A and B are shown apart, each in its own frame.
Chain A
């Protein structure tokens, strides 16, 4: 492997200073980064290990009713926090539908947000990839692209963001707290990931040295706890990235939808908030017709980027199903097969 420096800063300020240097990257659990390094996809000069920083591994209930999740909280710890799962069931379900138990035990909240696309051409250093090497071209565009983006892609990049966790988070207006060279700031998660446009190598709104320290869900997010689901269609029952997924959350008042939240996963370079679909659901009865209209709106701008036209129809159906599941109410327990179409199958014991 390429030789690299490894530093373990004692404070967030030290970490930011160390990571602001060219060629430096943050290391948390490394479930994605170390694979990228082994494959020669990522060749950093310096790893800044943040796993020993104090205070970043807590789940805090805020006075305003929100919750603040430290960036080093593991996916498993967050999903299995009973109060968190009860308040944000779609988020917990999404977390438990991702990766494998072993990976969830290691992987962190921050790493999940900042994981890289699983586009095979990004991982294959012999292929051209504008993300990996700006301006080199995109071999995915005319390549094997069955699972690639149908929304927000450009001729320069058709990769998708692979996270499950981010999909309900973005639906619930999550906020990302960032510590940078100029101090602390915060942005909406929806603004963290960028669409590729002409600069697919710029994946996030980050500046050099920026460190996510926490993800916050506002008080309003709890208001959807009674009707919030995540649904993920995949090529095998577990341990697979979404072909398409959706998070749906509803507030029903007097038989009508007071507020709807909808986001799609596996369709774009970012978790895809479907605001136009949310708008058509406001103040209407929660019927299949309404959900189908929402699905049409959500995918109105979708177009295939290759052999993936099926994902558009699949996404529509997932939207309808996710909304139907949400209106039926959050189950008392997260299913044994979280987010799976087979969640209701009895006898399931594996996640």
Chain B
């Protein structure tokens, strides 16, 4: 575990659980100096390098591999193939639980998608392994690839997302549409997108007898550990996974994928530690992606511009061999107060790796379509898009009728619009130009993301030297868990953050659940909260039951933990330090565990969501069609903000992702072969610095007593939603051209000037 230098802060500050201090990243200096150890930075003695050979077809079978040629190459130690590999304890095709996805670990010669691993070459050097993989020169029996949203017969999947109903409705949509004064009926398409974390998937695996040591970036330490245990038939306590830092995950490192399993198999095969790192193009296949969608929205309004019906249907794809369905239409459940809502999904199977969660799965794809459609509906009604949204503001969750646990969206609209200057927006499109003659457009979108909670456990310790420790197998993907969770730990232990040893990122620590669903700070924070309270209670018992303590007999009055001391709640002049209590009791330390989990009663009673409003300005060259976003303002209400600096960064990142969704990102798939033709960071466009405008984030005050003990809603994904639609709507407002196929391309805007 790396040594983290702690930030000094005045002792009177609460760090995170209460008002929230904008501490800088405690791991920042390590990262800037290149001293943060990512998985691929590990080089145990005797380590070999493994390189995957991947399929260049997307459907068929491998008929031959020139293993002999690869083996002859100097430095090659072994070549792992479907005929030559360690046995797994269970069939990797068996889904033992919904969070297990089928993976390709050389169990057969079948090819189900391009870039599927078909062999692993293990060598003394990376170069030798790379050339060995090239020398395999695979031959194939190729079957026609299944490509695109119209490949084959569509079907209605049993569930979408993680167990969401495929169809949902409230009220009579057809009647609502029939009675509507105005209607829109529009189809939007979103492309396949890939996570493209800066750090590729990587593993360093070392076996010592039955014991397995793994360095691997993961968003779910215990899920990964359980999957490894079942695949290799070893006990959980034989496995140690270290994942102190991730160079981004975005969902693609949430579940165990095939390639890291291949790394563990390779290490077993050769009896030496093995490192396997994916090449960038190999990340376009076996580690998940965001599925493409085609979404039809039918919306009706009465004569006042009030919604009468909202119908949202999404077509998506899954792989030919497993099931994940982008729950795009579910975005229409929560935002707009239509008396009749219907959402539905269908799908086709294509020759692709199985799609997976990618930052705001369903919410992002659904949001750009819904926010575009709402914009179109507002225009059809001749109403300002913000006024239209306020007119249809949902006071209760439309699809369920439940009250919201908290919802400061109105304040988001107000504060965001004021900061942006929205009131000056002309209703008509193509009305504004800058001094250079560029078209200027303003658009907005509403952001929303569910406030989720998973299960986690933490262990808290108070020591005789006056220090404390908090242990939790939490994950820092770059979002700042090392800092924000340590802030909560400091507050819960009543210690300055410099006095708390915060341990995370390792599977030998208590299970922190998965870092996904924007729920990690809430989940891990809740566990830390309860562990901290429990250890303070133990310490208080020691003191209040000891007649030598100034706190003796304070049991009923209670004590407060503050700055390393317990003090009487009813008389703050009486108290003593943790060190004194432990010394007198003759114990080195006290420890306690605590858990964090969702509250089913609250979930039954309330709809729980974070909200936001995003406003964007774009400029478009009227003749040449090139687009640039020039300004974005996002106002978000996401409950308690633990660390405002890191929350701002998360929201910036989400807004940039939304800009990227609207204007840039697309995996270009060859329609004949199903191969992705831009599987590299040069041609798979994401925004570069020059594409990112000045961003303004407002965090709106919001107190939520129901979501969890700390009132945290999560900010990891919401920034993507709303933003993509805001940019798309701004392009329409600038040009008068409504583009419904994303990303928006130059050619769509080459209208007559």
Contacts and interface: CB of A to CB of B under 8 A. Distances in A.
A1 interface: yes
Contacts of A320: 623
Given A236-B685, A348-B690, A341 B750 contact: no
Given A3-B131, A310-B750, A143 B628 contact: no
Nearest to A120: B677
Candidate in A126, A142, A237 with the most chain B CB atoms within 10 angstroms:
A237
Contact of A238 (B131, B689, B694): B689
B675 interface: yes
Contact of A321 (B56, B435, B623, B683): B623
A181 interface: no
Contacts of A240: 685
Contacts of B669: 144
Nearest to B135: A2
Interface string B657-696: 0000001100011111001011000110101111100100
Interface in B163-213: none
B630 A310 contact: no
Contacts of B623: 317, 320-321
Given A120-B683, A235-B685, A341 B131 contact: no
Contact of A1 (B57, B131, B621, B682): B131
Nearest to A317: B623
Given A2-B131, A126-B675, A233-B624, A345 B436 contact: yes
Given A237-B628, A317-B624, A342 B619 contact: yes
A118 B672 CA distance: 20
Nearest to B748: A310
A126 B56 contact: yes
A196 B299 CA distance: 52
Contacts of A234: 626
Contact of B750 (A118, A139, A313): A313
B689 A350 contact: yes
Contacts of A157: none
A350 B687 CA distance: 13
Interface string A21-42: 0000000000000000000100
A143 B670 contact: yes
B65 interface: no
Q: How many residues of A sit at the interface, in one of the four size bands?
A: 35 or more
B746 A233 contact: yes
A220 to B, nearest CB: 30
A236 B691 contact: yes
Contact of A40 (B134, B436, B685): B134
A135 B632 CA distance: 51
Contacts of A10: none
A320 B626 CA distance: 16
A342 B668 CA distance: 26
A187 interface: no
A234 B627 CA distance: 9
Given A120-B668, A121-B677, A124-B677, A2 B134 contact: yes
A351 B690 contact: yes
Given A118-B683, A321-B624, A345 B630 contact: yes
Contacts of B435: 344
A239 B438 CA distance: 22
Interface in B124-176: 127, 130-131, 134
B672 A142 contact: yes
Interface string A314-351: 10011011000000000000000100111011011011
Contact of A143 (B621, B672, B689, B750): B672
Contacts of B624: 233, 314, 317-318, 321, 341
Given A310-B746, A345-B438, A236 B625 contact: no
A226 interface: no
B425 interface: no
Contacts of B438: 341-342, 344-345
Given A40-B134, A144-B671, A310-B746, A342 B628 contact: yes
Given A120-B678, A126-B56, A341-B624, A237 B688 contact: yes
Interface string A113-130: 000001011001111000
A143 B688 contact: no
A243 interface: yes
Contact of B691 (A40, A126, A238): A238
Given A144-B671, A237-B691, A321-B623, A344 B56 contact: no
Contacts of A2: 131, 134
B738 interface: no
B80 to A, nearest CB: 20
Contacts of B688: 100, 236-239, 350
A237 B692 CA distance: 9
Contacts of B56: 125-126
Interface in B21-64: 56-57
Interface string B613-639: 000000101011110101000000000
Contacts of A235: 664, 685, 745-746
28 contacts: A40-B134, A118-B682, A120-B683, A121-B677, A124-B677, A126-B57, A143-B677, A144-B668, A144-B669, A233-B621, A233-B746, A235-B745, A236-B685, A236-B687, A237-B690, A240-B685, A310-B746, A310-B747, A320-B623, A321-B624, A337-B690, A341-B624, A341-B626, A344-B435, A344-B436, A345-B434, A345-B438, A350-B688
Interface of B: 56-57, 127, 130-131, 134, 434-436, 438, 619, 621, 623-626, 628, 630, 663-664, 668-672, 675, 677-678, 682-683, 685, 687-691, 694, 745-747, 750
